[in-house]
Structure 1
Amino acid sequence: MQIPAFKGAPQKSPFWTTESKLAYMLLFPAFAVLLLFMFYPILYVFLMAFYKTDKLGRIVSFFGFGNFHTLFSNKTFWEVTMRSVVWTVLAVASKTAAGLVIALLLNIEFTGRRIYRTLVIIPWASSVPISAMLWQWTYNSEFGLLNYTLKATGLWSNPPFWLAYPRSAFFANLYVDIWIGIPFMAMVFLAGLQSIPKDIYESAEVDGASAWVCFWQITLPMLKRVLLIATLLSALWTFNDFNVIYILTKGGPVNKTDILITFIYKYSFEFLKFGPAAAMAVITFVILLIVSLIYAWYYFRSEEL
């Protein structure tokens, strides 16, 4: 028989029981690692954005918005920021469109479908630096596979030096980033397509709806949430894609393929201007935060409708 608790006795908080104490002890090492290697560096970067620093990145004196003023008066910073936006929009739009087409094709039942699904995921599953290095060799103007193929097939007798000119170098970087990112989008969209009940399509076919009507009236509306989440993740990753650009062109020629993340690296470890670099990092954080909040607002608004 259970003895009822005395009304005047203090009740134990559910957050401080024997089980919760054990849970806190087990979580403490992971939290300490996050605090030391993630939260502390982020806080230090935010502080550096408002202070002058020496060549070793140590805080010297309070500078207010001086670092931001230095950036805003720099023409190259605005060019890099605009290029980052263009880079992200073009890459995410291309990945989304191509990924959706591939997902629709892989959702059709045909012989060898599992093999093709495995092959599609390879570019994304491979290491990004290794993929970028392979493409760097492919773009090589003297012995690269791309120029050799163009010459051998007669499609282009005198192909350009792809990574030597600003426009061609930018689109060469963009193509590699799209090539790496398409498989992720395709797999996410394919998972979303498989979650749509087939009964809906069967009912639409009975009513005489064409495949095009089914796509616009059934597939896209039911994929809306998946599309929002996938494009948000892709936008965040693409905006901060350091590996592809730095390995292929290092931001060159003459900073014409730099985006914010590579420009931050140059300011920090090549120019040793840690204050302006930290200010750029804060600006990048604010841009991505605003984009994320807009996506979140639209996502939850679409759930309410």
Structure 2
Amino acid sequence: MQKGKFWKTESGLAFFFLLPACVFLLLFMFYPIVYVILMSFFKVNKLGDLVSFSGLANFRFMFDRPEFWQIIVRSCVWTASAVAVKTGIGLVIALLLNVDFRGRKVARSLVIIPWASSVPISAMIWQWTYNNDFGLLNHTLRTLRIFGEPPIWLAEPRSAFFANLWVDIWCGIPFMALVFLAGLQAIPQELYEAAEVDGATPFAKFRFVTLPLLSSVLTVATLLSILWTFNDFNVIYVLTGGGPGTSTDILITYIYKYAFQYLRFGPAAAMAVITFVILLTVSILYARSYFKGGGVY
């Protein structure tokens, strides 16, 4: 090939169009990731500049703080609880929406609303709902006399955690439901008809037809949900900001506090690396278990 002819070929044209995207990824994704990893091993000033190599000092600093381990446990409980409920309710909704009934299109549209809405806006609406003085939730509880005096949802550690958890679940259910619904509609109806001929009950059809053919969709959807939920910053930041105290902080909000409130960029970077390692480990174990079990069809 003569010099200067490369960009006139089909491959050269493809590289030419991919070049801006590659530059964007390099500058705004890979460079920040590498720089954060470097920050975790350096002493960093309040402007974010690397001052001197400190080895594992930032990691030791965080490991010596009891609240750090509490936040890791809380992050795992937060993720496991939210993903389990999202998956369970999402699957039930998908099964219901897969049935032919009048108004099904309207029902599908309504299900999308929490997911289509901006998460910070949804969190702000729920913040008003949880308000002790004029919020709809406590007003309803007082009217129905379910509680003598309803809790101040966002001011008490335990109730604040569950209030945050419910909002995250509420925002995440539509995605799971729609993904599962797409998977259900891809299952051939002939398999259900054959199962009926064999005398299978509805539960048997679900157990031996639906679940095996939906397993790949379930795996991918739950893995994505784990990654997103573990890093769900918006809900907690808008509702409680991690408070009261640090009682509703998870790793991602704690990293934000250390970086942009305390200006301790070194420990914040160390926590970011720890978060990356946790999620990478979960993803690898999840993928190995999935492929080992023959989950690909």
The answer, yes or no, to whether TM exceeds 0.5 is yes
Residue deviations 1:68-127, cap 9 Å, x none? Answer: 111111101100011000000000000000000000111111001011001001100100
Tell me which of 291, 294, 299 is aligned to 2:290. Answer: 299
Assess, with a 3 A threshold, how the Cα gap between structure 1 residues 118 and 137 changes in structure 2: closer, same or farther: same
Question: 2: CA distance between counterparts of 1:17 and 1:75?
Answer: 61
2:78 is equivalent to residue 84 of structure 1: no
Question: 1: CA distance between counterparts of 2:45 and 2:230?
Answer: 28
2:233 is equivalent to residue 242 of structure 1: yes
Amino acid at match of 1:234: S
Let me know the Cα RMSD of the aligned residues. 1.6
Tell me which of 19, 24, 44 is aligned to 1:28. Answer: 19
Q: What are the equivalent positions in structure 2 for 1:91-102 lying under 5 Å apart?
A: 91-102=82-93
| Dislocated runs of 4+, deviation >4 Å | none
Amino acid at match of 1:69: R
Tell me, what secondary structure is at the counterpart of 1:299? helix
Question: Contact 2:216 / 2:295 at 8 angstroms: preserved in 1?
Answer: no
**Superposition deviation, residue 302 in structure 1:** 2.7
The percent identity for this pair of structures is: 66
Assess, with a 3 A threshold, how the Cα gap between structure 1 residues 21 and 226 changes in structure 2: closer, same or farther: same
**Higher mean C-alpha displacement, 294-303 vs 212-221:** 294-303
Tell me, what secondary structure is at the counterpart of 1:149? helix
Report the count of equivalent residues. 294
Tell me, what secondary structure is at the counterpart of 1:303? coil
Residue deviations 1:159-213, cap 9 Å, x none? Answer: 0100111100000000000000000000000111111111111111111111011
Question: Contact 2:7 / 2:13 at 8 angstroms: preserved in 1?
Answer: no
Question: Contact 2:44 / 2:266 at 8 angstroms: preserved in 1?
Answer: yes
**Superposition deviation, residue 298 in structure 1:** 2.0
What is the aligned partner in structure 2 of residue 219 from structure 1? 210
Tell me which of 116, 121, 127 is aligned to 2:112. Answer: 121
Question: 2: CA distance between counterparts of 1:128 and 1:298?
Answer: 32
What is the aligned partner in structure 1 of residue 10 from structure 2? 19
What is the aligned partner in structure 1 of residue 172 from structure 2? 181
What is the aligned partner in structure 1 of residue 33 from structure 2? 42
Tell me which of 248, 255, 277 is aligned to 2:268. Answer: 277
What is the aligned partner in structure 2 of residue 55 from structure 1? 46
**Higher mean C-alpha displacement, 161-170 vs 32-41:** 32-41
2:195 is equivalent to residue 209 of structure 1: no
Unaligned runs of 5+ in 1: 1-9
**Superposition deviation, residue 155 in structure 1:** 2.1
Question: Contact 2:215 / 2:295 at 8 angstroms: preserved in 1?
Answer: no
2:148 is equivalent to residue 134 of structure 1: no
Question: 1: CA distance between counterparts of 2:80 and 2:12?
Answer: 47
Tell me, what secondary structure is at the counterpart of 1:291? helix
Question: 2: CA distance between counterparts of 1:271 and 1:72?
Answer: 18
Unaligned runs of 5+ in 2: none
Residue deviations 1:187-242, cap 9 Å, x none? Answer: 00011111111111111111111101111111111111000000000000000000
Q: What are the equivalent positions in structure 2 for 1:152-167 lying under 5 Å apart?
A: 152-167=143-158
Tell me which of 49, 66, 79 is aligned to 2:57. Answer: 66
Question: Contact 2:78 / 2:230 at 8 angstroms: preserved in 1?
Answer: yes
| TM-score normalised by L of structure 1 | 0.93
What is the aligned partner in structure 2 of residue 6 from structure 1? none
Tell me, what secondary structure is at the counterpart of 2:14? helix
Question: 1: CA distance between counterparts of 2:294 and 2:72?
Answer: 33
Higher radius of gyration, 1 or 2: 1
Tell me, what secondary structure is at the counterpart of 1:35? helix
What is the aligned partner in structure 1 of residue 246 from structure 2? 255
| TM-score normalised by L of structure 2 | 0.96
Question: 2: CA distance between counterparts of 1:31 and 1:140?
Answer: 46
Question: 2: CA distance between counterparts of 1:78 and 1:302?
Answer: 33
